[in-house]
Amino acid sequence: MQAPSPPGRELCTVMHMVHTTLLPNGIKVVTEQIAHVHSVCIGIWVKTGSRFETREQQGICHFIEHMLFKGTPRHKAVEIARRIDSVGGIINAFTGKEYTCFYVKILKQHLSLAVELLTDIFLNSLFSPDDIEKERSVIMQEIHMIKDTPDDYIQDLFNESYFFDHPLGYPIQGEAATIQDMGRNSLVSFFTSEYLQSQRIIIAAAGDLTHEQLLQELSGSFAGLALAQDQPAVDSFAPQQRVLFHYRKLEQVHVCMGTVGLSQLDPQRYALYVLNALFGGSMSSRLFQEIREQQGLAYSVYSFASAYVDTGVFGIYMGVKKELAQQAIAIVLREIEKLKDEKISAEELSSSKEQLKGNLLLSIESTDNRMSRLAKSEIYYNSYIPIEDLVAEIDAVTSDAVQELARMMFNQKFVNYTFLGPLREKDLPKKFLFIP
């Protein structure tokens, strides 16, 4: 990764209409000018998320995300919403494991309004005690809603099992007990120490704007943030085999099985994108075609790859009737063995690559997706990665690379299972699940 420029010196680079400026206090501003669109999307990204919480702080980043929309000395919460709605814009935020983003998407002529509101909520939110109590109730309802939605809740349960006793396994929304115990001092202290740190902040924008326009709009807004140290090192993680049954009276058994994946920085990640696409990442994938189309065992079945700065996980989800669970899992295991033992055909490899490239190119027609690409590239690679480079990397993936990766990933000592629904441990033989 490229080292940041020394503090106090402004660096400006230009590539493919992407401009980057490193402000004297370490904040990075990156823009992509797209002249043919009507909108601009601007986001304030912070390199912090649920991974940087302690067990007692679970959900604090997500709680803070909510609080930044509750009002400032200049704008009440309802005024923020009305001013954005009155011009047809969108203001929102999301919290991840390793980053948090606050963003506005708006017509290009309202860029000043977007910057004004976004910087105000980020720098001047009140965290009033009354609003904290109201939002605590809202978040508690969100937690209950997720637990009432099995295909969402199974993801939290699986992450908790796979990343056992590690912050990557904490649910982003937190637990009811931790949310209930959070007070104003905890929220404000965490926000100050983890968010208001200049070298953790990236301001990204894409749309019909110039780099100079954004720098001018931002002029002086973040001057009060002094140069600060970057984040501490992340905790290491070593995967282990686990199987957990969460019994609940449901119509279906929700199954999440997974194994070791790759980090955001792993050079094999492009082979993983191809593997995921052909295995379970689309309607034409092997799992979808075999389990849903050919056998009619499930409505929803797919694979996914989650990647972080130093590790990752590859997972498979499906929802099936209890009496069909063993048959469906057997098909997944059979398809895994085929992936390891049989070379992928040139036709299937090409089709998977074209799907990936098509999805990538279609996604960049949206200014919010382009804005996200800019920020994530800076977070993980410290530089912009042109679309052409990504396409070239996908094209370079070989069938041997995909097969080699499958053999490395699908090792029984890494395989995890999480079950949610009317299934108990006695209902599936241990040998069947590759459990010694």
Three-class secondary structure assignment of 150-167: HHHHHHHHHHHHHCCCCH
C-beta neighbour count of 354 within 10 angstroms: 13
3-state secondary structure of 319: strand
CATH superfamily, domain at 11-218: Metalloenzyme, LuxS/M16 peptidase-like (3.30.830.10)
Give me the pLDDT at residue 226, please. Answer: 75
Give me the pLDDT at residue 240, please. Answer: 86
Strand partners, 71: 76
Which residue intervals of the chain bear CATH 3.30.830.10? 11-218, 242-433
CATH superfamily, domain at 242-433: Metalloenzyme, LuxS/M16 peptidase-like (3.30.830.10)
Distance CA 170, CA 97 (A): 9
Query: Measuring CA to CA, which residue among 326, 119, 361 is closest to residue 217?
Result: 119
Distance CA 380, CA 197 (A): 18
Per-residue pLDDT of the chain (436 residues; tens, 9 = 90+): 333 433 333 444 444 589 999 999 999 999 999 999 999 999 999 999 999 999 999 999 999 999 999 999 999 999 999 999 999 999 999 999 999 999 999 999 999 999 999 999 999 999 999 999 999 999 999 999 999 999 999 999 999 999 999 999 999 999 999 999 999 999 999 999 999 999 999 999 999 999 999 999 999 899 888 776 666 677 888 888 899 999 999 999 999 999 999 999 999 999 999 999 999 999 999 999 999 999 999 999 999 999 999 999 999 999 999 999 999 999 999 999 999 999 999 999 999 999 999 999 999 999 999 999 999 999 999 999 999 999 999 999 999 999 999 999 998 888 999 999 999 999 987 666 654 4
List of E strands, 23-168: 28-33, 39-46, 90-95, 100-107
Chain-centroid distance of CA 140 in Å reads 22
The three-point CA angle 247-337-287 to 5° equals 60
Strand partners, 13: 20
Residues composing the chain? 436
- φ/ψ of residue 73, rounded to 5: -60, -25
Query: Measuring CA to CA, which residue among 353, 364, 338, 343 is closest to residue 282?
Result: 353
Distance CA 250, CA 422 (A): 6
Cα dihedral sign for 120, 124, 127, 128? negative
Contact 111, 218 (CB under 8 A): no
Give me the pLDDT at residue 432, please. Answer: 63
Contacts within 8 Å (CB) and 24+ apart, 290-293: 290/331, 290/335, 291/318, 291/328, 291/331, 291/332
* Alpha carbon distance, N-terminus to C-terminus of the chain: 41
Give me the pLDDT at residue 236, please. Answer: 83
Distance CA 176, CA 12 (A): 45
Within 13 Å, how many C-alpha atoms sit on residue 388's CB side?
Answer: 2
pTM for the structure as a whole: 0.93
- φ/ψ of residue 172, rounded to 5: -60, -35
Which runs of consecutive H residues, i.e. helices, occur in 176-296?
176-181, 184-194, 211-218, 269-279, 286-287
Strand partners, 93: 102
Token digits of residue 359: 């999805």
Residue 329 zone, left/alpha/beta (φ > 0; ψ -120 to 50; rest)? alpha
Give me the pLDDT at residue 237, please. Answer: 86
Contact 303, 280 (CB under 8 A): yes
Give me the pLDDT at residue 39, please. Answer: 97
Distance CA 273, CA 279 (A): 10
Contact 86, 418 (CB under 8 A): no
Please indicate whether residue 65 is annotated as part of the active site: yes
Token digits of residue 231: 């984040």
Give me the pLDDT at residue 176, please. Answer: 97
* Per annotation, catalytic residue among 32, 53, 65, 160: 65
